[in-house]
Copies of this chain bind each other. A is one copy, B any other.
Amino acid sequence: MAETTSRRRGRGGGGAARRAERTAVRIETAKYIERNIPNFEILNEEALEIIENNAETVLEEVGVNFIDNPKALERWREAGADVVGERVRIPRGLARKLCETAPSQFTQHARNPEKSVVIGGRNLVLAPVYGPPFVRDIHGGRRYATMEDFNKFVKLAYMSKWLHHSGGTVCEPTDIPVNKRHLDMLMAHMTLSDKPFMGSVTDPSRAQDSVEMCEILFGKEFVQENTVMTSLTNINSPMTFDDVMMGALEVYAKNNQACIISPFIVGGAMAPVSVAGTLTQVLAEVLAGIAYSQLIRPGAPAIFGAFVTSIDMNSGAPTFGTPEAAHITYGAGQLARRLGVPYRSAGSFCGSKLPDAQAAYETANSLNMGLLSGVNFMLHSCGWLEGGLVADFEKFVMDADQLGVLHGLAKGVAYDENAQAMDAIREVGPGGHYLGCAHTQANFKDAFWKTELLDYKPFETWEDEGSRDTRTLAAQRVEHLLANYRQPELDPGIAAALSAYVEEKKASMPDAFM
């Protein structure tokens, strides 16, 4: 696995430098995952064809609504759809035909070229949690998120080896006016990290701001010719495309920037209670959404999204890490591959209020399924808590450590001569042990995934050290990482231009908190 490495250096010379070197924190970023293992194909050909056929029937007979968006209706009419009021009925095959111009994979550039990612194909790009209005940590409990929290999460994502992407709204900075916070969020991603990031979708004008800030960061021409943002445009399931999300999508597609077209499904509420029915609706929605992005600009990158949870039918609460969510995630991956576009799903999903065993079971179920279902872009891959209401600091680093397991799994099984280890088996023989043999000595350093968090110490040592549970260990890791954070370098001229842009924008309008 190719890795880009930088090392925090001490500033002093001589002894101080050597001391600093000894206590330095290595900042490594793993290359995005290139799967060398098969996908798990849960649906057979017959089921896939039925679902695809039914999705076309839904588009043709039931249709989708484009709300408060006459221009969109006009575009659909021109493309050959049957438009009545805001309802768009799409003739069988038309949406899939339009999707053909969407690329099967694309590069999202980071300002540090070593951290650019290729989204699609057999790759998996991991990005942190998105959207929680609350944060939680072991010391301060649960509280509304602030910009200070946001900055901390961006720093933690930057420091996390297994995260390839800085994400977007890692938490909602509720202390900043709604109409201005996207500027501070983008500024944080652009200056506190050098990993790729997401743009704003809460208003078309904010999407436009995102593009303009990228033009400052990457250069205007570069942005028009390359993809530098992947943004999240949710579909209002069932089958409703609102003007805000579609307005943002229009801005991004026009500028060749990527969008995740993502049905937001709580099964039994926004989609049928059955897996096959949900997959049908998801496919119909994504077909319509990606087709629409291609009406804006053929070739604009678009991702097949599926945010899916099941529901506790007693309380109506969404549930996570469940078998039904897994079935849908596996199935949607197959549908995305047949459509020939990148796939977004899964994440560190859980319903638990605390980063406890429930949270970890649910999260591990979802992460494993995400890897095996062929997800190409995994938003929410760490830090998600309480159904997405909370971004949790300890869970962020706990999940981020588990993402290393996914990297290891995806490597697959080597079976070259060295991996066959026949010399070792001959050397050791019955009743011996392998700890000291030549093959072990030559291979042990890279043989096993290593945690940077979990505890494997003998019981007595663990007890002597205070019987710490995972959350306590994670809190210490959060503290350690933030204490050792060092900002990646950025051209001072660009930094100043970004600051000026943000200041000017903020000054141009009054604060709004709604």
Contact A435 B269 (CB under 8 A): yes
Q: Does A470 contact B (CB under 8 A)?
A: yes
Q: How many residues of A contact B (CB 8 A)?
A: 126
Closest to A285 in B: B430
Contact B457 A317 (CB under 8 A): yes
Of residues 467 through 481 on chain A, the ones whose CB sits less than 8 Å from some CB of chain B are 467, 469-471, 474
Closest to A406 in B: B323
Contact A456 B319 (CB under 8 A): yes
Contact B331 A413 (CB under 8 A): yes
Q: What residues of chain B lie closer than 8 Å to A470, measured between beta carbons?
A: 352, 354, 356-358
Q: Does A205 contact B (CB under 8 A)?
A: no
Cα A434 to Cα B273 in complex, Å, equals 8
Q: What residues of chain B lie closer than 8 Å to A358, measured between beta carbons?
A: 360, 454-455, 469-470
Contact mask for chain A residues 58-69; partner B; CB cutoff 8 A; 1 contact, 0 none: 100111110000
Contact A324 B449 (CB under 8 A): yes
Contact A356 B356 (CB under 8 A): yes
Contact B37 A42 (CB under 8 A): yes
Cα A352 to Cα B272 in complex, Å, equals 40
Q: Does A321 contact B (CB under 8 A)?
A: yes
Contact B62 A280 (CB under 8 A): no
Count the copies: 2
Q: How far is the CB of A299 from chain B (nearest CB, A)?
A: 28
Closest to A450 in B: B312
Of residues 409 through 425 on chain A, the ones whose CB sits less than 8 Å from some CB of chain B are 409, 411-415, 418-422, 424-425
Closest to A404 in B: B323
Contact B455 A419 (CB under 8 A): no
Q: Does A327 contact B (CB under 8 A)?
A: yes
Q: What residues of chain B lie closer than 8 Å to A132, measured between beta carbons?
A: none
Contact A448 B268 (CB under 8 A): yes
Interface residues of A (CB under 8 A from B): 37-38, 40-43, 46-47, 50-51, 54, 57-58, 61-65, 87, 142, 236, 238-240, 267-278, 280-281, 310-313, 315-319, 321-324, 326-327, 331, 351-365, 368-369, 372, 386, 389, 395, 398, 402, 405-409, 411-415, 418-422, 424-426, 428-435, 439-440, 443-445, 447-451, 454-459, 462-463, 467, 469-471, 474
The 6 residue pairs across chains A and B that have the minimum distance between CB atoms: A277-B421, A323-B408, A364-B364, A360-B360, A272-B421, A239-B430
